[in-house]
Structure 1
Amino acid sequence: MTDVLENSRVRAVVDPERGARLTSLRIDGHEVLGAASAPGVDPAIADGIFAMVPWAGRVRDGVVVADGVAHQLPQADGPNALHGLGHVRPWRRSGEGTYAVDLGGPWPTQGIATLRYALLDAGVRIELTWDDGTDRPCSIGLHPWFRRRLDTGGELEADLRPTTMVERGADGLPTGELVAARPGPWDDCFTLAADPVLTWSDALHLTLRSSADWWVVYDEPGDTICVEPQTTPPDAFGHPTLHPADGWPHTVWLEITA
């Protein structure tokens, strides 16, 4: 059974059984979330807005090392692990718009992930927290699929203003180097010079704000675009140059406002 949060301008639908993901977000009557139509995309990651926890993005060969011990994560992107454990688990309701799930092995620690959805006057705030009682490395994020075309108005124009870009090697994973942003299309991680803005002319104008320093942008599909706030770049665990300077954040929030 799904849960509905709504006010005069916003209607959000959450499915606790599918990772407590946001399966629908209507703002001023426009559905802004979509689903990947490309063949071969895992349905578990192909729609709505879902939590990436306790890691976000790809992990090379699905291996993380903690206290000298290698832990094998589920391999979902060829040999690599992808997008954590939370998006494929049912979450329990712990309050209005609030959900939680216990996660552990094969991840090295045991913890609780919490998702909180709060409606704004013209949007929604989503907050994801990972609490394993430690300050060990983790990487968390939120993964939205936005439609390129709404029910009316022009095609999506994304104002992203990338600055620093995480270099990817021939295998598609980070090399650990930071480079100047290159032209798209992208399946890449960036810092941005300003909050991302998504505009469908004559229909809707959205601003995305987040606590995250990093954004993954996936704009290769013709019908959707992903703009994903993450606390670290993908595969950061294996690259000291990508480690956060002030410890590993255990909370990330995203606000989507019209």
Structure 2
Amino acid sequence: MTDTLTIASGATAVTVRPSTGRITSLRIADVEHLHQGERFGSFPMAPWCGRLRDGVLDFAGERYEFPRNDAPHAIHGTVRDHPWDIVERTDGSLTLTQDLQPRWPLPGSVTQSFTVSDSGLSLAMTVRATDQPFPAQVGWHPWFRRTLDDAGEPLRIHFSPAWQEERGDDYLPTGRRIDPLPSPWDDCFGMPDGVDVTCEWPGARRIRIRSDARWVVAYDMRDFAICVEPQSGPPNGLNTDPRVVSPDDDLVVTTTWTW
């Protein structure tokens, strides 16, 4: 499988690694905006986002258990860091797909698409059940560089969420919605009209992230990057707020990054 593929338009170039489904590079006017490294860039989250309590899904009278890769929880789904098949590629677009099995016990697939323009990047993800219904979420986990160059001002994020999911000591929502708290964050926020967050590197670049997803996780506890993660449900939402997909009802979520 090709290690990396680059799609481009004008001064924008986006590099994707099909072996993991990750965006490894977002270069605008030859400036890299994503933190580099095997675990970084921007990766897809499916069929759940964030932490799944104790790595357990209870659904339709069955219990399913997943590796606790963020002990004691399972985190960020099963599709990151696993191979994707190339469905279609043009100079400015790319579509990848991946079967959910064997790590996910219920038959299904995830498809993600990438389309670049001179002034933006459009992303979409679809979860499809091919046999029986199951709960699902999708989201994106970009690691934006804290600074774009040694002399630049650090990244600031601007948004106006309707609420914050109160975070318990186990880093999962307690079920209470509270007024948004100031940074530092490893927190999920509700935006019922759709995610709308602006990432600003003062004097250098503004990237506006919008999505039809209604939750966003902000994570700024590393000194080298800030994450702004549109997602279709809150952490542990497969158990607490499930969106069920079925063979005749896909989950489709989109996000656009414009500058």
Work out whether 1:58 is the aligned partner of 2:58: no
Deviations 1:133-180 (A, max 9, x none): 455311111111000100363221211223311111111111122111
Residue of structure 2 aligned with 1:104, choices 101, 112, 128: 101
| 1:10 alignment partner AA | T
Which amino acid letter does the alignment assign opposite residue 221 of structure 1? R
Aligned twin of 1:33 = 34
C-alpha spacing 1:249/1:163, structure 2 compared with 1 (3 Å): farther
Once the 2 structures are TM-superposed, how far is the Cα of residue 231 of structure 1 from its aligned partner?
A: 0.4
Aligned-pair CA distance for 1:249: 7.0
Residues in 2 aligned to 1:238 and 1:175: alpha-carbon distance in whole angstroms: 13
Counterpart secondary structure, 1:153: coil
Q: Secondary structure at the match of 2:147?
A: coil
User: Quick one: percent identity of the two aligned structures?
Assistant: 36
Q: Distance in 2 between matches of 1:238 and 1:4?
A: 37
- Residues 35 and 224 in structure 1, CA contact (< 8 A), matched pair in contact too: no
Q: Give CA deviations for 1:53-101 in whole Å, capped at 9, x if unaligned.
A: 1111100010102221111112100121111111021111110111111
Counterpart in 1 of 2:172? 173
Q: Rate the CA distance shift 1:243–1:165 in 2: closer, same or farther, 3 A.
A: farther
Letter in 2 for 1:140: V
The code of the aligned residue for 1:4 comes to: T
> Which stretch shows the higher mean deviation, 229-238 or 130-139?
130-139
User: Which amino acid in 2 is paired with 1:143?
Assistant: H
Runs (4+) of structure 1 moved beyond 6 Å? none
Match of 2:128 among 107, 113, 131: 131
Deviations 1:211-234 (A, max 9, x none): 100000101111100000010001
CA contact (8 A) 2:140 2:231 kept: yes
1:214 and 2:215 equivalent?
yes
Report the TM-score when normalising by structure 2. Answer: 0.88
C-alpha displacement at 1:106, in angstroms? 4.2
| Deviation, structure 1 residue 52 | 0.5
Which ranges of structure 1 fall in alignment gaps of 5 or more residues?
37-42
Cα 1:112–1:243 change in 2 (3 A) is: closer
Shift of 1:210: 0.7
Mapped to 2, the partners of 1:27 and 1:139 lie a distance apart of 29
Q: Cα gap change, 1:249/1:94 in structure 2, threshold over 3 Å: closer, same or farther?
A: closer
> Gaps spanning 5+ residues in structure 2: where?
none
1:145 aligns with 2:138: no
**Residues of 1 paired with 2:86 and 2:31: CA distance?**
27
CA distance in 1, matches of 2:133, 2:214: 19
Counterpart of 2:12 in structure 1 is 10
1:113-128 to structure 2, matched below 5 A, reads 113-128=110-125
The AA in structure 1 aligned to 2:32 is: E
TM-score between the two structures when normalised by the length of structure 1: 0.89
Residue 82 (structure 2) pairs with residue 89 (structure 1): yes
Deviations 1:20-77 (A, max 9, x none): 11000011222110148xxxxxx5xx30111101111100010102221111112100
Distance 1:238 1:112 in 2: 20
Q: How many residues align?
A: 247
